[in-house]
Structure 1
Amino acid sequence: MGSRFLLPFVEDIDLEALNKAARFARKHRAVLTPLALLPLSEQQWAEGPRLELIEQANDFLEAIRCQAAQVRVAIEPCAIETRDAARSIQIFAQEMMCDKILLFIRESRTVLLPRPIAQQVLDEVTSSLCLFRLEERPGMKLVQKLMHWMSNLLYPEAEEHQTLPGTTENRLRSLTHVDHAPHEQ
């Protein structure tokens, strides 16, 4: 098990993405390194992260532990506080000697990372990237639209974090690896 794959996370746990990451690591006999990033503003840096950020990071690490245990893949979980998530991903990948950084999208929405951070990783990170395109969930469109609508009502500034711009889609196609394998049960 010489290879190590980095799985960065900031928000919105997606079990399908976690399962695919664990299976991909097992298929390549790699150690999976889930990294829960807690992005902090200048003020939060002095005060410490909010409780919900810590809880979400812990939930992510527990969820990936369960997924990894199901497919019997070794993991090296970690959580860090950061002011620059994309830069932290790059530095962590280098320091941990990760062979690949795993990124996920469903349609044109980023998964596990907010759009601005995913965009910055795509633009600035020099490590090898693996992009996984997750299948759209049948029957979920109505629920997703309702959640998106409610989210926009409650947090209007968050909408910009939902979709990668079209120019990035071309960059996404040119990444190291796109896994088009059928959905595994």
Structure 2
Amino acid sequence: MELDNLRRQWQQPEPAQNRPALGAAELSRLLAKKSGSIVDQLRRNARLELGINYALLLASLGLAALAPISWLRLFSGLLVLVALICIYYLTRKLSLLRSLDDPAGNLRAHLLHLTAGLRTLIRFYYHFTLAMLPISALVVGGLAVARVGAHVAPSRLLLVLGVVVGTTALCYWPVARATRWYLQRLYGQHLDRLEGQLRELDDLVPASPV
């Protein structure tokens, strides 16, 4: 019995005893069917991001080893750190998604735990991305001070640091907006669908008589 058919039958004004009983087995079957394609899409997106970050890690390691100048090696080291953190984050995300293959106990409770865990990881990814802006500004500013600090007037140095800080501040809003859109497209919209289907299935279960 399909979810839409069940919803229509429950919305019909007929006696409760004539409505189809939705037992635990039927609910689990519907949950597995409706959530399967969504979880598969989340897995594909996480694997794609994981592959990109592995490529970034290898490229950054190669650049750090071959770069002829110190500031480029330092920047490459920062990219290595970013790639490692993202790989850890995505591995955790895939581990959560794989856990659905063998859910222990109640499938609905397992899906709720899965969506809550993924929401937490997405928030971490969002805040981590925004935190990289001031960190990058600190690295760039430090390199500027190290390279030209002894050769220019303090006022000129302050101007350079002001440009770095100003550029970082100007980039904050568009980066935050782009990151939010990116995460919503890859993960958020699928989690919204999954949570919506869980709520719809809740509506199909008759309330216990008082």
Q: Same fold (TM over 0.5)?
A: no
Query: Please, what TM-score do these two structures have when normalized by structure 1?
Result: 0.28
Higher RCO by CA contacts (8 Å cutoff, separation 6 or greater) = 2
Which has the larger strand fraction?
1
Asked which structure has the greater CA Rg, the reply is: 2
